[in-house]
Amino acid sequence: MKRILEELNERIGALGSMVVSSDGLLVAAVVSQETQLDRLAAMGAAILSDVRRALSRAGMQDFAQCEVAAERGKVILVQAGKTYLLVMVGPRMQVGPGSVEIRSAARLVDRAGGLDAA
């Protein structure tokens, strides 16, 4: 699974990526050493929970992808089977061209078994 993340980071120039369970447990990560993995995984789970709740209230289908922009970059969350893929990119990256690569990596994570393939 780490190889999937390494290749994704390289292809789109991501700052890091990780696979996380919907309850915030880290499955796999390829990020810089200074990244606080547990905090980032918990933040992703909280965002995912809020987005799912809002979608449900709006009568929309379940979560597929979400982008959260911050001053110094973006976090992209993509459903990957029973897990989700969290990708960190810089503020100037245009997600559009990279989203195909991110969704492709999410499918690979799902096929790899997500929680079973850490």
The separation between CA 113 and the C-alpha centre of its own chain, rounded to angstroms, equals 16
Backbone phi and psi for residue 13, each to the nearest 5 degrees, phi listed first: 70, 35
Per-residue pLDDT tens digits for 16-30: 999 998 788 899 999
Q: Which residues contact 67 (CB under 8 A, 6 or more apart)?
A: 74, 75, 76, 77, 95
Say whether domain 2-112 belongs to CATH 3.30.450.30: yes
The domain ranges of the chain are: 2-112
More confident residue, 108 or 64: 108
pLDDT for the residue numbered 28: 94
Give pLDDT tens digits for 10-64.
999 999 999 998 788 899 999 988 888 888 888 888 888 888 888 889 988 777 8
pLDDT at 90 over 80: yes
Please count the residues of the chain: 118
Q: What's the gap between Cα 8 and its chain centre?
A: 11
pLDDT at 85 over 70: yes
| pLDDT at residue 45, as a whole number | 86
